[in-house]
């Protein structure tokens, strides 16, 4: 029997994308350059609601991507996104990406809870073997959050990112299904 709560955590639930509704939220979140600089290694780049909607519509049925919105349980507010992508069928491996777009919800445990939920989905529902991510060395809040969810540092690409005239490390983290299961037995 399917666990109907597989996409629900203690603070958040993962919900489907709605291109018409969500494109506006995504465009609003991307107006915050701090958010963009935590999310992407490229230069901060704005996307219109229309461009976001077109991207979502194109990727909704892509079997190599599983993208969700993060919704708070208490108020039902959409605060970010989390998703898995990669060649999951061949290797059982996925890359996870997460972004809490609403800065009012930063540092309050929502991202950690969402990561725990997406890992449960990855290992229990999709039957994956491994989930990987990368994070910028200056994003210590995210690194702590990922460690709480069970990720361990696997590698560091020293000086891989240049921001504001400085070099920053790219930290690679991962978790195996067996490691995740040991934490949840």
Per residue in 30-44, pLDDT (tens digit) is: 777 777 677 776 666
In a domain, 4, yes or no: no
Whether residue 7 lies inside any domain: the answer is: no
The domain of 88 spans 12-183
| Percent of the chain residues topping a pLDDT of 70 | 90
Tens-digit pLDDT profile for residues 129-160: 999 999 999 999 999 999 999 999 999 999 99
Q: Is 117 exposed, middle or buried (0-12, 13-18, 19+ CB in 10 A)?
A: buried
**CATH label of the domain that carries residue 35:** 3.40.630.30
For residue 30, the model assigns a pLDDT of 76
Residue 3 domain flag: no
Residue 86 lies in a domain: yes
State how far the Cα of 43 lies from the Cα of 69, in Å rounded to an integer: 24
Q: How many structural domains does the chain have?
A: 1
Number of H helices, E strands in the chain: 7, 7
Residue 120 has pLDDT above 70, yes or no: yes
Predicted TM-score (pTM) of this structure: 0.88
């Amino acid at each position: 029997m399917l666990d109907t709560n597989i996409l629900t955590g203690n603070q958040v639930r993962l919900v489907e994308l709605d291109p018409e509704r969500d494109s506006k939220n995504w465009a609003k979140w991307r107006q915050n350059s701090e958010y963009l600089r935590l999310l992407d290694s490229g230069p901060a780049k704005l996307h219109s609601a229309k461009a976001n909607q077109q991207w979502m519509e194109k990727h909704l049925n892509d079997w190599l991507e599983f993208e969700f919105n993060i919704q708070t349980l208490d108020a039902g507010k959409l605060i970010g996104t989390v998703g898995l992508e990669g060649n999951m069928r061949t290797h059982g491996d996925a890359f996870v990406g997460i972004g809490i777009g609403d800065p009012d919800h930063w540092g309050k445990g929502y991202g950690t809870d969402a990561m725990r939920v997406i890992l449960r989905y990855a290992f229990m529902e999709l039957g994956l073997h491994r989930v990987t991510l990368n994070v910028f060395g200056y994003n210590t809040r995210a690194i702590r959050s990922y460690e709480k969810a069970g990720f361990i540092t696997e590698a560091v690409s020293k000086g891989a990112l240049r921001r504001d005239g400085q070099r920053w490390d790219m930290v690679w983290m991962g978790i195996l299904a067996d490691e995740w299961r040991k934490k949840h037995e």
